[in-house]
Amino acid sequence: MLSDFRFACRQLTKSPGFTLIAIVVVALGIGAATAMFSAVNALVLRPVALPEAERLAVIYEANLPRQIQRFAVSYPNYCDWRSRNTNWVSLAAMTDRSMSYTGGSGEPELVNVHVMTANLLSTLGLEPAVGRGFLEEEDRPGHNQVAILSHGFWQRHFGGRPDAVGQSVTLGGTRYTIVGVMPADAFFPGNLEIAIPLRDEDRTTDRRYEHVLAVYGRVKASYTREQAEAELKAIAAQLYSEYSDSDRDWSIEAVPLSKVVVGPEVSTRLYLLLGAVGLLLLITCANLSNLLLVRASARAHELAIRAALGAGRWRIVRQLVIESFIITGIGGLFGILLSLWAVAGMRTANLPRATEISVDVRVLLAACGITLLVGFLAGLSPALKTTSHADPQEALKQKSARAGSHARTRNALVVAQLGLSLSLLVGAAVFIRNFWRLTHVNPGFAVEQVLTASLQPGDRPSAVSFYEAVAAQVGALPNVTRVGLISSLPLTGGNTSNNVFPVGPTPLPPGKSIQSSWRLVDGGYFDAMRIPLLRGRTFSGLSPDEARNAVVLSASLAKLLFGDENPIGREIEQLRVGGDRLTVIGTVGDVLERLDAEPTPTFYWSMHRFLYGPMQLVVRTTGSTAPLAAAVRSVVKKADSSVPVFGIRTLQDLRSDNLSRERMITGILGGFAAAALALASLGTYGVVAFSVQQRTREIGVRIAIGAQTGDILRLVLGQGFRLVLLGGIVGIAGALAATRLFAALLYQSGTSDPLSYLVSVGVLALAALAAAFLPAWRATRVSPLDALRAE
């Protein structure tokens, strides 16, 4: 075996060009496969990095008659679940708050604060790296002025000093004593910066209609998640009978934590890319197999001599397979190195758990396994084909390799490569076209020349006056035409959902509500965003008292609630905040929450009704937005130097960020398609070039009897054209099947896109025929005399 290995190395070094091309082919395939498997492994297959993560679940409220799923939980219901269950080790709850923090620099900043029950860390199986967690008594009112820092926040603001424990931080004007610091690599739901226990205002014990909490549970080892979920559903049924007004038809849904962290949308796209990598690997196998078959055919004379000298068929097969393993081993090593570069890029992608993507032991084992499989499959078939009809005496009589009998196999492999490449090209083209459509979607507002910024003066009573003063002063700046305020901008995914019920006649079935998003706005928001007013009026010009019980509906929500009737003056009831009736004063155009989705039914409250978190300042200008950032900061600092200004960006930036995930998917798929096209072109070139070499005498004779350059080009290119035609048929069939699988991922696209097919076929045909043209042109330069002498 060792002698075979040494001999294989010598043989490969004699053909450095072939060896280098083969290694590059393998490195591309293995590198792409390893990188994508790293992502799927980290985001989908690997459990969340928490102890016994399989027993953790996120528990939602659900109201199927009202078509409400995966809804937040009310604090009273959470308390009842916690006290009445027996199948759960513990249930814990949290909610997010954006709060202002002023550090040593004196500049206020907004931080994401997790407001949680004291048992959340223990439920998840987490412990602080420095200090301690929350104590049970700190879950009670009056004892909750303590905080735990994330490792990143600790490093940024306290330099990683252990004596930070015991110091205090001021959040929203309240001082909290630091009792602990989380580990650097700790997984935690959401973007944790600071954690504090539930505040008194978060314990809404008398408001079951306020669904604001995320609840996490750990199932006891003696029960399954399904059993624990069934118990909570039974408790929910009890609460319905006890609180029929607020808990009517409410039940629960317990979802494994890992499925919540990485949702089906991301995992589906990852599996799509993994499927694309699978096609690329098949192309790699076919390409390498073809290269090895051509090489083995060219060595038929040498192999026949070895057979004549007594080498058995399986000895020769083993020798050829070892050469294949050496090529794939080296190519696999370079592929793994290539995947490290790709993984470094994916760790910065807009994906959940992206920082966990790595080439770990499982990925390395998979890469090694794929490498061995590629080496075995690509090497065995040519070896068996070459030695299947060995006739040493006949081979020794010939001066050139005998390859005609292998032409069909080589052509079939090239057709497979071309077909698989076309399938990938069509997929990439469809996604590129889909991305192009998304960039031209009308979001329902004008994105040009608009700057946005987030402000957080806290929940103080004067916050509304502060916002109004800032808006008025910013509106007086040069070139500023409109200014508005909203609680959460479109396209950010930060909408808050609620269920609304129409009062009076409605096309809805009795008792049915509409789940919609809601936002708080001021009177200038719709003009600043250029969202069209369709009926009635907005909050502009209304007094605070008039605005508190008024509501503006989006066109889609008005249609769902009232059909074609005029909704102005009608009343609606909403489920979450207060539960009282609101009067419709106007309807506005729909805006998009996501560019690849239909508009979400939305209703707008006035910020005079209440405030919830930071407000977003929207500034429209006739000039450049670049100078506005400093001017807005200056205005806010003069109004109140303790208020942080953060998240300054344009609406065009916001639109671009909304497409970041689609941009990444399209780019990766396009890269795979380009690699597949290059491999297929290389395969076409190799087959045509080898065919020309084997037909040198025939071509020389044709030229000798009068064949012109055009005749020889047609002869050789005809072979390439036939391969492209057959590959195109195979590829189109595969692409039609594939596009049906991922049609749901596309925006307003059916299962076929004729332009994508035409462009892909054209690109493949041009690339393959261009690859065939070089050996075809060389064939026209053949000298008849030299060809006959060589033969």
Residue 747 has pLDDT above 60, yes or no: yes
Q: Which of 231, 261, 291 is the last residue of a domain?
A: 261
Q: Residue 555's pLDDT is what?
A: 95
Q: How far apart are CA 92 and CA 687, in angstroms?
A: 65
- Name the nearest CA neighbour of 298 among 238, 386, 218: 386
Neighbours of 388 (CB within 10 A): 11
Whether residue 367 is contained in a domain is answered as no
Residue 75 has pLDDT above 80, yes or no: yes
Q: How far apart are CA 111 and CA 176, in angstroms?
A: 14
Longest dimension (CA), the chain: 105
Residue 93 has pLDDT above 70, yes or no: yes
Do 583 and 714 lie in one domain? The reply is no
Secondary element (H or E) of residue 517:
strand 514-521
Q: Residue 104's pLDDT is what?
A: 61
Do 488 and 629 lie in one domain? The reply is yes
Q: How far apart are CA 525 and CA 543, in angstroms?
A: 16
Do 69 and 197 lie in one domain? The reply is yes
Residue 786 has pLDDT above 90, yes or no: no
Residue 197 has pLDDT above 80, yes or no: yes
- Supply angle C-alpha 635, 638, 640, rounded to 5: 105
Task: Point out the least confidently predicted range of 93-97, 201-205, 421-425, 615-619.
Answer: 201-205
- Name the nearest CA neighbour of 451 among 656, 646, 654, 651: 651
Residue 234 has pLDDT above 70, yes or no: yes
Q: Residue 750's pLDDT is what?
A: 55
Q: What is the DSSP string of 334-387?
A: HHHHHHHHHHHHHTTSSSTTGGG----HHHHHHHHHHHHHHHHHHHHHHHHHHH
Name the pTM for this structure.
0.77
Read off the pLDDT band of 1 (50, 70, 90).
low
* pLDDT tens digits along 591-644: 998 888 888 899 999 998 887 778 899 999 998 888 899 999 999 989 988 888
Quote the tokens at residue 431: 């996604």
Q: Residue 621's pLDDT is what?
A: 94
Q: What is the DSSP string of 470-491?
A: HHHHHHTSTTEEEEEEESS-TT
Q: Residue 89's pLDDT is what?
A: 92
Do 575 and 662 lie in one domain? The reply is no
Residue 400 has pLDDT above 50, yes or no: no
Do 616 and 761 lie in one domain? The reply is no
Which residue would you say has higher pLDDT here, 577 or 124? 124
Do 637 and 682 lie in one domain? The reply is no
Whether residue 105 is contained in a domain is answered as yes
Do 182 and 252 lie in one domain? The reply is yes
Q: How far apart are CA 505 and CA 482, in angstroms?
A: 38
Q: Residue 245's pLDDT is what?
A: 66
Whether residue 11 is contained in a domain is answered as no
Q: Residue 66's pLDDT is what?
A: 64
Q: Residue 417's pLDDT is what?
A: 86
Do 416 and 526 lie in one domain? The reply is no
The distance from CA 468 to its chain's CA centroid, rounded to whole angstroms, is 39
Do 554 and 465 lie in one domain? The reply is yes
Burial class (CB within 10 angstroms; exposed 0-12, middle 13-18, buried 19+) of 754: exposed
Whether residue 185 is contained in a domain is answered as yes
Q: Residue 788's pLDDT is what?
A: 60
Under 8 Å between Cβ of 43 and 351: yes
Q: Residue 230's pLDDT is what?
A: 92
Q: Residue 205's pLDDT is what?
A: 61
Q: Indicate the pairing of strand 581-588 with strand 550-554.
A: parallel
Residue 403 has pLDDT above 70, yes or no: no
Q: What sign has the CA pseudo-torsion 277, 283, 284, 289? A: positive
Instruction: Spell out where 599-695 has E strands.
Output: 602-606, 615-621, 645-650
Work out how many domains the chain is built from and give that number.
3
Mean pLDDT of all residues in 81-108: 84
Burial class (CB within 10 angstroms; exposed 0-12, middle 13-18, buried 19+) of 437: middle
Residue 587 has pLDDT above 90, yes or no: yes
Quote the tokens at residue 740: 């049906």
Whether residue 488 is contained in a domain is answered as yes
Amino acid at site 506: T
Do 632 and 664 lie in one domain? The reply is no
Read off the pLDDT band of 453 (50, 70, 90).
very high
Whether residue 567 is contained in a domain is answered as yes
Q: Which of 609, 643, 677 is the last residue of a domain?
A: 643
Quote the tokens at residue 770: 């261009």
Percent of the chain at pLDDT > 70 equals 87
Whether residue 494 is contained in a domain is answered as yes
Q: Could you identify the residue written with the tokens 């005079």?
A: 608
Neighbours of 465 (CB within 10 A): 12
Residue 399 has pLDDT above 60, yes or no: no
Range of the structural domain that residue 177 is part of: 53-261
Residue 312 has pLDDT above 90, yes or no: no
Q: How far apart are CA 577 and CA 518, in angstroms?
A: 11
Q: How far apart are CA 348 and CA 341, in angstroms?
A: 12
Do 788 and 665 lie in one domain? The reply is yes
Q: Residue 631's pLDDT is what?
A: 93
* pLDDT tens digits along 666-687: 888 888 888 888 888 888 887 7
Instruction: Spell out where 708-789 has E strands.
Output: none
Q: How far apart are CA 633 and CA 150, in angstroms?
A: 27
Do 226 and 116 lie in one domain? The reply is yes
Which residue would you say has higher pLDDT here, 713 or 468? 468
Q: How far apart are CA 422 and CA 266, in angstroms?
A: 25
Whether residue 675 is contained in a domain is answered as yes
Of the ranges 11-25, 66-80, 252-266, 520-534, the best mean pLDDT one = 520-534
Residue 71 has pLDDT above 70, yes or no: yes
* pLDDT tens digits along 471-494: 999 999 999 999 999 998 998 876
Q: Which of 211, 236, 261 is the last residue of a domain?
A: 261
